[in-house]
Structure 1
Amino acid sequence: MADRHGTPPDFADIAVAHWERERPDLDFTAMGTLARFARLHIAGSRRVEAVFAAYGLDRGEFDVLASLRRTGAPHEMPPSQLAEILLITRAGMTKRVDRLEARGLVTRRADPEDRRSLRIGLTPEGFALVDAAVTEHAANENRLLGLLTEDEARAFDAILRKLLTAVEGQPEQPEQSA
């Protein structure tokens, strides 16, 4: 059973066909697409995380170093700003910074404008490590999207942007009780 493009059925087609057989009263139009997107996210994340692991980093540690690096000199900011950028709690940020500081990749120092606040900054070792990692990371991501034509990549990006804007702008729906 091939789809309209002559492609053999994949895991999502099979799951949707099963659901349609079992629950013909429901609309499963979006299920296959979103299942493929979820699997793409998982498989792509594994490839991305393999690059970080080659540099002795996990995704969260890379994100901290990369956030500091891309802000430009002096490559530092308050931990609360880092937490906000990375969408994590301040406690989660403290844990990441603790690990990176123990490895000599970041420093903590008092903020000269507000002695009650801290600034997290890249060390020369952290700067060199994140530069090397981001070089391979960018090449890896380009390889992943290189499977698409330029037009397909632009369309994919536009569609993702549209969906993300809509989903992030919608309040979460409360669960309905059974």
Structure 2
Amino acid sequence: ERACKQWQKEMPEFRDRLLPMILLGRLNEASQVMSRDYLAPAYADIGLKIGEFDVLATLVRTGPPYKLTPTELYRTTMMSSGGMTARLDKLEKAGYVERCPHPEDRRALTVCLTEKGLDLIKQMMPNYIDTQHQAVSGLSGKEQETLSRLLQKLLRSASDPLAGR
């Protein structure tokens, strides 16, 4: 609110065009608050960072045999390939994943979830889901559904400008 009022005062010619700025600012702030106040502490309890948990959770949700290539992982988790390599190194050192030969390409590797990694995620899921419920508890179930639909529409239109029309 404060930033909007400041912009309106400083540049009144944009007074009626600030809604997207406000919306994007709130989306960014909400993401930071949810990560900082809810998700990061939950991951820290098990010695992981958010991105590391995301890698393990992505492998689990793909189902048996819990294997993906590093490229599939970084595309699915929206990380850079360099960031993915660092995360995989840490997760491998902790015994949660291992790099396995690719079944069809001798030059490539797959990331395989270990039993230890699978057990960790299965044990963590109830707390993870409870934490997410706490994070959005300020909205009713109907409001959560509406916001989710609207954000999905926004994301589609951002990645394909023709989709929003």
Q: Which bin holds the TM-score, normalised by the shorter protein?
A: 0.7 to 0.9
Q: CA deviation at 1:81?
A: 1.4
1:87-166 matches, cutoff 5 A:
87-166=78-157
What secondary structure, in the 3-state scheme, does the structure 2 residue paired with 1:116 have? coil
CA offsets 1:4-41 (integer angstroms, 9 cap, x no match) = xxxxxxxxx22211211111111223333332222111
**Residue 51 in 1 paired to residue 39 in 2?**
no
**Residue 70 in 1 paired to residue 58 in 2?**
no
**Residue 21 in 1 paired to residue 26 in 2?**
no
Q: C-alpha separation between the residues in 2 aligned to 1:167 and 1:109?
A: 36
2:21 — aligned with what? 31
* Unaligned 5+ runs, structure 1: 1-12, 171-178
CA offsets 1:129-174 (integer angstroms, 9 cap, x no match) = 122223212111112222212221111111111111111224xxxx
Q: 1:162 to 1:18 in 2, by over 3 A?
A: same
In the superposition, the TM-score normalised over structure 1's length comes to: 0.81
Percent identity reads 33
1:2-17 matches, cutoff 5 A:
13-17=1-5
Q: C-alpha separation between the residues in 1 aligned to 2:114 and 2:44?
A: 20
The one-letter amino acid of 1:14's match is R
Give aligned pairs, total.
Answer: 159
Higher helix share: 2
Q: C-alpha separation between the residues in 2 aligned to 1:40 and 1:153?
A: 14
2:160 — aligned with what? 169
The one-letter amino acid of 1:28's match is L
Q: Name the Cα RMSD after superposition.
A: 1.8
The one-letter amino acid of 2:13's match is D
2:30 — aligned with what? 40
